[in-house]
């Protein structure tokens, strides 16, 4: 899904700015960018992940989400630190995020 970001100059600029605000090694061993949600649909036209993207980003920005190794509780590997909703030039909607690992 990195191509979603590449098709959005606004998302590319936002991620660059936010990543710069988290210097390597300050709190996390590394930080990375990711697309954590998109409006991709299945063959019936239903969202693959039926979540409101604005609500998802707001919840993350209020309280960072834990990242779990293989989604196993008790196996933390970092946090989703900050997120924002974007729409790229192709009309695809997605949530970009910065992860602390």
Sequence-ordered list of residues with C-beta below 8 angstroms from that of 77, at least 6 positions apart, any chain: 67, 68, 69, 101
The length of the chain is 101
How many domains would you assign to the chain? 1
DSSP 64: P
Q: What is the span of the domain harbouring residue 61?
A: 2-100
For residue 44, name the pLDDT band (cuts at 50, 70, 90). very high
Q: Could you tell me the strand order of the sheet in which 31-38 lies?
A: 31-38, 93-100, 76-87, 65-68
User: Reduced to 3 DSSP states, what percent helix, strand and coil does the chain have, rounded to the nearest 5?
Assistant: 30, 35, 35
pLDDT above 70 for 2:
no
Give per-residue pLDDT as tens, 29-41: 889 999 999 999 9
The pTM of the full predicted model, rounded to 2 decimals, is 0.89
Give the tens place of pLDDT for each residue, 77-97. Answer: 999 999 999 998 888 999 999
């Amino acid at each position: 899904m990195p191509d979603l970001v590449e098709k959005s100059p606004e998302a590319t600029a936002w991620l660059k700015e936010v990543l710069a605000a988290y210097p390597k090694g300050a709190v996390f061993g590394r930080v990375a960018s990711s697309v954590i949600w998109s409006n991709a649909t299945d063959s019936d036209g239903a969202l693959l992940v039926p979540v409101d993207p604005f609500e998802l980003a707001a919840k993350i920005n209020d309280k960072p989400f834990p990242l779990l190794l293989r989604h196993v509780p008790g196996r933390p590997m970092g946090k989703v630190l900050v997120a924002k909703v974007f729409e790229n030039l192709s009309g695809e909607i997605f949530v970009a995020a910065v992860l602390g690992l």
